[in-house]
Amino acid sequence: MRFKFTDKFDSFYFIGIGGVSMSGLAKYLLSLGKKVGGSDASPNAYTEELAAAGAIINEGALNDYDLIVYTDAIKETDLRLCEAQKLGKQIISRGQLLYEISRDFETVVAVAGCHGKTTCTAMLAHIFSAAEKEFAVHIGGNDLTFSNFYYRGNEFFITEACEYKKNFLLLEPDIAVILNSEPDHIECYGSEAALKQAYIEFADRAEAVVSLYCDLPIKNSVSFGFDKSARYYAKNIRVCGDDLTFVACEGETELGVVKLKVHGKHNVLNALAAIAAARAAGIGFDAINKGLGEFIGVERRFEKIGEVNGAVCIADYAHHPNELRAVIRTAKKLSSGKVFVVFQPHTYSRTKSLFKEFVKVLSPLNNLLIYKTFAAREYFDDAGSALTLSQSIKKSRYGDDVKDLTAFISGAEEGDTVLFLGAGDIYNIAKKAVELLQD
C-alpha cells in the first residue's frame, strides 16, 4: 500500500469540527492515534463525543497542529482560518482531506446524488458488515447503529460524495453511485446542465458506475429503478405492518424478497442502489439481504421523536422539493388522520432557485407552517426567505420561535401525523416543542 497521507502529520485541527462530515473524519484520525483538535461556533453532540474520545475542543493554539482542515460552511473571513493563514500553516478543505483519507483504502465506494446519499451509504454499511468485510464508512448523518463513522479495516471505504462546491470531483472512487441528478446547489454551478455534466464527470472518474435508470447518459453504467428495463428493479412492493417489502430483481432473475424497516418508495430506490453497488463489490445477495434487514434507519430520516395529543411526531431531513414530496406522500399513506407539516427552508439560495417547486409541493397542504430560514453560510435574501415563501402559499402560517411551533402542533389529535422537515436546526427546535407539550 502507498505511503499514507495521514502518516505525514501527527496532529490535525478542524475549523468547524462539529459538522457531521468533519466529525466523522476526526473520528478516523483519532482511531489512528493522531492528536485532534478543533473549534466550532456552538457545542453539540458531535463535539461532546469527540471530546470524550480525546479531541481538544475550542482550546489550544493553532501552532500546536501540523495540518489545518476547514469546512466549506465557514466564510473566508473566519477568525481561525485567517489566523492559520497568517501563521503559514498548511491548510486543506474537508473535501481534500476526505480524498486523502479515502486513499488509505483498497476500494472506494462513493455515493452521490441530490438526495438519498445518507440512507444509501448507511444501507451499504450494514451490507458490508453482514458480509463481514473489512471496511470503514463515512456517513453524512447518524445511522442508528454505526453513527456517522465506523471503522474496522482498510479493504473498503464507503462515503457520501457531496456535490456542494464540486467536492465530489475531488474523489477517485472505484465504484460510483449516482442516486439522482436533480437540481440543487445551482448557485455553485450556474445551471442545471452544468450540474448534470459534473455528475457525468464524477462517473467518468470511477471504474464501475451505478446510476438511476434513464437519468444521465452514462456509458457502461449499471442501472437501478422501478422500470423493468433497469438492471436492478423492484416488483411487488408492499407495506406489511411496520415493514416495507419488495422482490429484488437482477435482469430477469428474482434475487429474493427484501424486507426494509424504513418506509417510502424512495427507500426502495435507495435499497436497489445499495444492492447494485454491493454486487459490483462482489457481495452475494444473502449478505446483502441480511444487511438491509438489519438497517433500522438514520437519525432525522422519518424518525419518530415523540407524540403530541396522541399524534405521532416525525422528523426528517428533507429540504429539497422532491424530498418533501416523498416524505409527505409516505406520511399520508401511513397516517389515519390529518398530516401537519412544519418546514424550515435551508439556505436562501436554494429556496430562491427552487421557489416555484417549493410552492407547488407545499400549496396542497391544509396544515402547514413555514419556519424561519436556516441561513447556514448565507446572508439574508428576502426573495428566498421563509416569510416570502409562506406569503406565496395561501393556507400556510409563518413561525420564528418555539412558541409558534407549539401553538401550531397543539391542534393535532390522535391518529394525526406531525412532520418536522428541514436540514437546519428545526430538529432540535421540534424536539423542544414536543417536550414542552408533553410536559
User: Contact 377/74 with Cβ under 8 angstroms?
Assistant: yes
| Cα–Cα distance for residue pair 223/179, rounded to 1 Å | 10
Nearest by Cα to 287 from 124, 145, 426: 124
Residue 2 confidence (pLDDT): 47
- For residue 355, how many other CB atoms are within 10 A of its CB? 17
The separation between the first and the last C-alpha atoms of the chain, rounded to the nearest angstrom, is: 57
Q: What angle do CA 326, 332, 337 make, to 5 degrees?
A: 160
Q: Which amino acid is at 229?
A: S
pTM for this entry = 0.83
pLDDT < 50 stretches in the chain: 1-2
| Cα–Cα distance for residue pair 246/260, rounded to 1 Å | 9
| Cα–Cα distance for residue pair 164/186, rounded to 1 Å | 9
The cell for 309 is: 395529543
| Cα–Cα distance for residue pair 175/207, rounded to 1 Å | 6
- Tens-digit pLDDT profile for residues 261-279: 998 889 999 999 999 999 9
Q: Which amino acid is at 328?
A: I
| Cα–Cα distance for residue pair 20/25, rounded to 1 Å | 9
Residue 185 confidence (pLDDT): 66
Residue 240 confidence (pLDDT): 81
Nearest by Cα to 372 from 311, 425, 298, 413: 425
Nearest by Cα to 164 from 13, 320, 278, 276: 320
Residue 58 confidence (pLDDT): 92
Cα 287–chain centre separation? 24
| Cα–Cα distance for residue pair 221/368, rounded to 1 Å | 41
Residue 192 confidence (pLDDT): 87
How are beta strands 135-143 and 11-15 bridged, if at all? unpaired
Bridge-partner residues for 103, per DSSP?
none
| Cα–Cα distance for residue pair 12/71, rounded to 1 Å | 13
Residue 26 confidence (pLDDT): 97
Cα 301–chain centre separation? 9
Write a three-state SS string for the chain: CCCCHHHHCCEEEEECCCCHHHHHHHHHHHHCCCEEEEECCCCCHHHHHHHHCCCEECCCCHHHCCEEEECCCCCCCCHHHHHHHHHCCEEEEHHHHHHHHHCCCCEEEEEECCCCHHHHHHHHHHHHHHCCCCEEEEEEEEECCCEEEEECCCCEEEEECCCHHHHHHHCCCCEEEECCCCCCCHHHHCCHHHHHHHHHHHHHCCCEEEEECCCCCCCCCEEEECCCCCCEEEEEEEEECCEEEEEEEECCEEEEEEEECCCCHHHHHHHHHHHHHHHHCCCCHHHHHHHHHHCCCECCCCEEEEEECCEEEEEECCCCHHHHHHHHHHHHHHCCCCEEEEECCECHHHHHHCHHHHHHHHCCCCCEEEECCECCCCCCCHHHCHHHHHHCCCCEEEECCHHHHHHHHCCCCCCCEEEEECCCCHHHHHHHHHHHHHC
- Tens-digit pLDDT profile for residues 312-323: 999 998 988 988
- Measured between alpha carbons, how far is residue 81 from residues 19, 46, 86 in Å? 16, 21, 9
